[in-house]
Amino acid sequence: MGGKAKKRPSTDIPDCKYGLSCYQKNPQHRKKFRHPDPVTEQKNDLSFENENSDNQNEVQVTETHEETSSEEESADSVEEILKSMPEDFFEFWNFCKTVNEVKPEDAFSELGLQLVGIYDLLSKQLPKKKKVALHCHYRYYYDPPELQTVIKSNDKNLYHIGYFRDEPDKHPSVLVSNSAAVGPKLTLKGDNIFAAMNAELTERLKKLKQTALRSKFLKIQENLRKCAKNKKYSIEISTAKTKARNKKVVSKTFN
């Protein structure tokens, strides 16, 4: 028998313009705008055509149920991953939108840098026909499990920057960099992604010869520093937070 799609309940709360793609976890945002449930939305879109055989109908319903369960598990894993990311991760994405509104992940591509890893969830760059282990996405050869890559360089040394977690169930403590083609060494890049990118811009702009491009990114760096200041993020690599963390180190790894 054919099933009918359910209607959404009426509400005075406006829909969030990002719909299922919204990554905001702020409770005030959730109260202000209505967000569709991934599983409910899929169920609401289901419709079954009349078939001559009851057995055929039974198979169709069973298959759809399995797909919904898979979608639910996927949605939960994505939500958990995004919840595990610190606030500066999202604030930096918003800043990149001011540089490149259409493709924020390419905001610094002219300098050979691209946002990757978990940012692929926000830019919708994950492969559609392949399951991805999100916690391992963009993991390089020497990366320990604690390292989660979010920026990569297009150089031959496989240079990349990522968040480093001291505890798996806590937000990352710092950001570090590594060149996978060179060795296992991890280099501190600050306690937030604004500091990490500021350091990268400083180093790359020193070597940049194109005057117009250099002027462009000097302005972007200035805006990045202003944004970090407004959001109360330090752009220094060594901060009170990183110094306090260093005091807790009891043994260094091979890195």
For residue range 201-231, list pLDDT tens digits in order: 999 999 999 999 999 999 999 999 999 999 9
Q: Show the tokens assigned to 44.
A: 């609401």
Interval 69-125: pLDDT, tens:
343 334 447 888 888 999 999 999 999 999 999 999 999 999 999 999 999 999 988
Quickly state the pLDDT bin for 68 (edges 50, 70, 90). very low
Asked if residue 1 has pLDDT above 60, the reply is: no
Q: Average pLDDT, whole number, for the chain?
A: 80
Note the residue count of the chain: 255
pTM score above 0.95: no
What's the pLDDT at 254? 56
How confident is the model at residue 233, as a pLDDT? 97
Average pLDDT over residues 143-169: 94
Of 185 and 38, the structure prediction assigns the larger pLDDT to 185
Largest Cα separation within the chain, whole Å, is: 73
Average pLDDT of the segment spanning 120-132 = 80
Give the residues across from 115 on adjacent strands.
151
- Does residue 59 have a pLDDT over 50? no
Q: Is the dihedral of CA 108, 84, 229, 240 positive or negative?
A: negative
Percent of the chain past pLDDT 90, that is, above it, reads 56
Best-predicted range by mean pLDDT among 51-55, 71-75, 144-148, 192-196?
Answer: 192-196
Q: Which residues of 118-133 are buried (b: 16+ CB within 10 A; e: fewer)?
A: bbbbbbeeeeeeeeee
pLDDT (0 to 100) of residue 29: 74
